[in-house]
Structure 1
Amino acid sequence: MIVLLKRLRYITVLLSSTTIMLFLYFQNSEMVLTYSSYIFVSEQALCGCHICVADQGNSSWFSERYKPTVPLLLNSTNTDLHANVSMWWKELQDVPNISNYTEVVDQLFPLFPDEEHYSDAGPERCRTCAVVGNSGNLLGSNYGPLIDFHDFVIRINKGPTKGYEKNVGNKTTHRILYPESAVDLDENTHLVFFPFKVLDMQWLISAFTTKNITQTYTEVPSTIKANKDKVMILHPEFIKYVHDNWSEGHGRYPSTGFLTLIFALHICDKVNVFGFGATSDRNWHHYFDETLALFESNIHGADFENKTINWLQQENKIMMYKGWT
């Protein structure tokens, strides 16, 4: 009887120990699973690309400059400018400012869309963008099919496609413009308007309504063929952000090409750059004419912009295609 009781005690202790061990095991497993799940969620990819532009964890140099919360586009809720932004932006005016900024922007959004056109970001999306400049190094490049393969093809100012399809492609989803660089667009192209002065915004309104503005600091077209439902207007704060964070104060204000490139970093998951820089013989002419472009280093801090673009490539944030000419 005594031996039997001892055996029962031993079995009870063994079962109790086993139960406690199993409880601790499963509790620990749950903790591990929960922790692992947390890691998975916290490290979930920002996009479906192998490397996502907006990932700030792989470059301290990039994360010091990139500000994901900066307003990209004007809309009806963010037109009020911070005092420092307003003061800096209004100093860019080449034409005397006789108009009230608030009155002008109040006319914009009854006329143009008050929404974003690129809000389809997600962990399963890989939005590829081709930023296409106008350098003569595109001639003979045969980049056309590669450029057209991208989801977004962003072209700058007057760069044509007709007659140059083999080297620059024929697809355009976004065209960067301001009054002095205005060209007609097709119905499916977004007009991304870069306002460097209040008069630029007035011209945009006029171009789709009264058509009465034909002069800024130079003669400009009174109207433009474009889809007003696809107009996007860059926020003045974004221009200052690029000047402060990316140009680091070099030059009076950033060049259109540099602004476009940084804009692409904010709306794309992968950015490939074409038609930037000089030709192989160091000439700065457009692919569509032989006129040498002015290298406005003092106005735009072009030397520093080029260095920054090279750093972006070294940090695997962009891929530069430099052409063959």
Structure 2
Amino acid sequence: MLDKTFPQYNWSRNGFTRNRWELLFPNQKRHTAKMKFKVRTLIVLLCVTAICVSWRGYMSFSLPQDERLCACERCLSEDDPWFMKHFNKSVEPFLSANYNLSEDTFNWWKLLRDAKGNFSNFRGKVERLFLMVPPSPDVLESSPDRCRTCAVVGNSGNLKRSHYGPLIDFHDVIIRVNAGQIKGYEADVGTRTTHRFMYPESCVDLDNTTHLVLAPFKTIDFDWLTGALTTGFNGGPHWAVRSKIKANKDLVMVLNPAFMRYVHDMWLEKKGYYPSTGFLALVVALHMCDEVSVFGYGADSDGNWSHYWEKLRKKNLKTGAHPGDTEYRMIQKLDEQQKLKFYTGF
């Protein structure tokens, strides 16, 4: 027991004084200082973390509407020089009753498949079609509180045994091309379709909820659609197409020839005669979606550009007038630049 009369220590009524504690426990002061430093450091770190989280929340939810493009984790942006070299948001993907196609673009488009008729004749056909189908396209607009996800499903043989079906069906918009089949291939290609891009020679019947997107390559294609959705179309024995098809007239959309030219010039750098329907559909998706996933494009593992539902009879099958290799490389580049997600099937 400590003696109150010990000469080095000051004794007080309330116990040891601070000096006496320091003398008896010389390490206590350093320990206390370290603890205080740790506490202060922890408080500073917590404050910095809170500020960062608050700032991220502010940037995510408080940006003005014209700066916040969508609610996706990653949106297609316009600040990438490479992407903006190709992407032109001002080009309308679809025709409308009020859209004025330039005669210069018409003359470019007319040469794709040696279309008959002059510019005035073309405009008359378009006007008649828009008396029957919606005068403006049904497109889901971008919004800061919405994330528009799109799956573009091509017809490549590399879809076989891919098991992409559930992933494809998970998207909001599911775009299919030409006569791409579903029945019997659901595990690999999914079950849903919201938009089907096709032209007369590749037409199929559609259910009442699917948008028919006409990819016109000649002026008679407008006549065909008008007739095929009403009383029937008679194109003569030289043109073997179906005279009638099943589709919802209220969901019809028509690809803009100016958009087709833009894809050929800007995205494919004028390679090939004209873009494939599949590549046109893919670039449309970049214009109308916030996140794009691509399936079923390119050759199969043996290098053949075959369809997944067909038994391949002709080896070394290529893409004809379409610049298939150029289109494929562009899809790969878009995937590398994280502008879309490319599922190769291999």
* TM range, smaller chain: 0.7 to 0.9
- Give the whole-Å Cα distance in 2 for the aligned partners of 1:210 and 1:45: 47
Equivalent of residue 279 in structure 1, options 300, 314, 317: 300
Cα deviation, 1:284-317, whole Å, max 9, x if unaligned, reads 21110023584235x2222222221111111111
1:316 aligns to 2:338 (yes or no): yes
Aligned residue pair count: 284
* CA 66–282 in structure 1, closer or farther in 2 if over 3 Å, else same: same
For 1:254-269, list aligned pairs within 5 A: 254-269=275-290
The Cα shift of 1:213 comes to 2.5
Equivalent of residue 228 in structure 2, options 204, 207, 223: 207
* CA 43–201 in structure 1, closer or farther in 2 if over 3 Å, else same: closer
- Give me the TM-score of the superposition, normalised by structure 2: 0.77
1:251 aligns to 2:272 (yes or no): yes
1:289 aligns to 2:310 (yes or no): yes
Equivalent of residue 326 in structure 2, options 301, 304, 310: 304
Higher RCO (CA-CA < 8 Å; seq separation 6+): 1
1:93 aligns to 2:105 (yes or no): no
- Alignment-mate amino acid for residue 318 of structure 2: F
Cα deviation, 1:11-55, whole Å, max 9, x if unaligned, reads xxxxxxxxxxxxxxxxxxxxxxxxx99x943883201112112x1
1:52 corresponding residue in structure 2: 75
> Highest CA radius of gyration, 1 or 2?
2
| Aligned partner of residue 131 in structure 1, secondary structure | strand
| Aligned partner of residue 153 in structure 1, secondary structure | strand
- Give the whole-Å Cα distance in 2 for the aligned partners of 1:88 and 1:287: 33
- Give the whole-Å Cα distance in 2 for the aligned partners of 1:275 and 1:63: 26
- Give the whole-Å Cα distance in 2 for the aligned partners of 1:43 and 1:228: 34
- Give me the TM-score of the superposition, normalised by structure 1: 0.82
- Give the whole-Å Cα distance in 2 for the aligned partners of 1:131 and 1:217: 33
Moved over 3 A (4+): 94-99, 214-218, 291-294
- Give the whole-Å Cα distance in 1 for the aligned partners of 2:341 and 2:236: 38
Question: Please, which runs of 5 or more residues in structure 2 have no aligned partner?
Answer: 1-57
1:140 corresponding residue in structure 2: 161
For 1:176-255, list aligned pairs within 5 A: 176-215=197-236, 218-255=239-276
Give the conservation status (yes or no) of the 8 Å contact 2:150–2:291: yes
Cα deviation, 1:212-263, whole Å, max 9, x if unaligned, reads 3245964000011000000000111000010111011111111111111101
* CA 278–217 in structure 1, closer or farther in 2 if over 3 Å, else same: farther
* CA 123–282 in structure 1, closer or farther in 2 if over 3 Å, else same: same
- Give the whole-Å Cα distance in 2 for the aligned partners of 1:284 and 1:307: 15
- Give the whole-Å Cα distance in 2 for the aligned partners of 1:156 and 1:181: 9
